[in-house]
Amino acid sequence: MARSTHTTPSGFLLPSIHSAEPFFTQQPNPTTQSKQTETWSRLILSYARHRNLFFVRVEDAETAGGEWDEILRNERIKRKVMPPHLSHILSEMVAKNQAAYEPPKQTRSVLLYWRLPEEWAEVLHQWVTSTGQLTTILTFYEITDPPVPSPLSGIPAVLLRKAIAILGKTGRAQIISIADGEGARFFAATGK
């Protein structure tokens, strides 16, 4: 059974297990299933990191043409992840704090934490410091869509707000809101 790894058009290296048909079927045996779900979670997170994707939805398994086709489908062996299977994987990821249901109170779409909000908070603070924007008022749009691409380009506002809240707890950021929109201001780390 020579399974091989495969590199996708976007440059992502798929593990050899991705070429195995049983990998796409939700396994009945609990041990195998937990191993399988774990592998799928890791795969989803590393792909999200590679392509800078933040959301995965059950409908990505239902319809083709989305961002996740390279992972959720394998045309060479003619297999794909079924929606219930994906739903199960997502619920496991949320339970392990690798993702969160976003918007909350539904189970069809999750926000992926291939970087924890705490880590995002650090990346954010470092970026603000290195671009010399401490104590400057920044709009959310400025952070998510800067003229110079940054590690934060494309971060969803939800995740950004969480990161800013974490920084706010250590006195390194504050959110300013007005009628038209929101912004934030960052400070150097207070002596801690």
Partner 1 sequence: MGASQSTPKVTAQDRAILDLKLQRDKLKQYQKKIQQVLDREKEIARQHLAVGDKQRALIALRRRKYQESLLVKTDGQLESLEQLVSTIEFSLIEVSVLHGLKQGNEVLKEIHKEMNAESVEKLLEETAEAREYQREIDEMLSNNLTVEEEEAVEAELKALQAESVSESPPAIAHIINVRVQATEREAEQAPVELPSAPVNVPVAPEVYAEPIPNTHEEEPEQRERVPVMA
Task: Using CB under 8 A, pick the residue from 19, 60, 85, 183 that binds partner 1.
Answer: 183
Indicate the residue among 84 and 171 with the shorter CB distance to partner 1: 171
Task: Using CB under 8 A, pick the residue from 10, 35, 97, 137 that binds partner 1.
Answer: 137
**Contacts for 119 with CB less than 8 Å, ≥ 6 apart:** none
Check binding of 75 to partner 1 (CB under 8 A). Answer: no
CB count within 10 Å of CB 82 equals 15
β-partners of residue 187 are: none
Indicate the residue among 64 and 176 with the shorter CB distance to partner 1: 176
- Both tokens of 6, joined, read 């495969």
Task: Using CB under 8 A, pick the residue from 8, 33, 46, 174 that binds partner 1.
Answer: 174
Check binding of 15 to partner 1 (CB under 8 A). Answer: no
Report how far residue 134's alpha carbon sits from residue 126's, in angstroms, rounded to the nearest whole number. Answer: 10
Q: Are 120 and 155 in contact (CB under 8 A)?
A: yes
Indicate the residue among 73 and 172 with the shorter CB distance to partner 1: 172
